[in-house]
Amino acid sequence: MKDLYVSWDEYHRLVERLALAVHESGWRFDSLLCLARGGLRVGDVISRIYDRPLAILAASSYRAAAGTEQGSLDIGEFITMTGGSLTGNLLLIDDLVDSGVTLTRVIEHLRQRYPAITEVRTGVIWFKACSTFRPDFFVQHLPTNPWIHQPFEVYDAMGPEKLAARLRSQGGD
């Protein structure tokens, strides 16, 4: 399989399955951190299901060629969160693990800067076989390493002008 296309309905089911996998493991987390941008939607849903505040860390390596080529990894200087700090058991959420570089480096970053974190476990929707990092929780293992087309990617190359034209053509003002 070269490409995997995911609808909004399927995407939401996969996020729910990830949240349930964490619950069924019996492991409990004190802090929840997602990686922006891919992990934002996943982290938001898990935050709501578990009724826990969501912390956000920006990390990016897919910027070249409209987000299809991995470049150097940039990790944000600060974590955005309301009240308190990251402590205890931390659940680190992203949408997928591809090469494994991002999750490996982010965990190193967290261990250096947040000594109150006692354990980090990771959760993703998709775990590609080419990854050097195995997440603690995942929904789908992808042995053929397909390129994943997520439903929100339609906005990547849209811009406001194309959005306006699309809405006009659909009769949406």
Determine the residue type at 129.
A
Segments making up each domain of the chain, as ranges: 3-169
CATH class of the 3-169 domain in this structure: alpha beta
pLDDT digit string (tens) for the chain, length 173 residues? 699 999 999 999 999 999 999 999 999 999 999 999 899 999 999 999 999 999 999 987 754 444 455 557 888 888 888 877 899 999 999 999 999 999 999 999 999 999 999 999 999 999 999 999 999 999 999 999 999 999 998 888 888 999 999 899 998 55
∠ CA 75-85-22, nearest 5°, is: 80
pLDDT at 71: 58
Q: Are the beta carbons of 103 and 122 closer than 8 angstroms?
A: yes
Separation of CA 84 from chain center:
22
Q: CB-based contacts of 114: which residues, under 8 Å, 6+ apart?
A: 85, 86, 87
Is the peptide bond between 37 and the residue preceding it cis, with omega within 30 degrees of 0? yes
Specify the DSSP class assigned to residue 146. P
pLDDT at 134: 97
pLDDT at 65: 46
Separation of CA 169 from chain center:
32
From CA 167, how far away is CA 54, in angstroms rounded? 32
Closest Cα partner for 58 from 112, 102, 91?
102
Closest Cα partner for 50 from 81, 10, 15?
15
pLDDT at 172: 58
Whole-prediction pTM value? 0.88
- φ and ψ of 38, to 5 deg: -60, -35
pLDDT at 62: 55
Specify the DSSP class assigned to residue 153. G
Going by their DSSP bridges, the two strands 3-5 and 69-80 should be labelled as unpaired
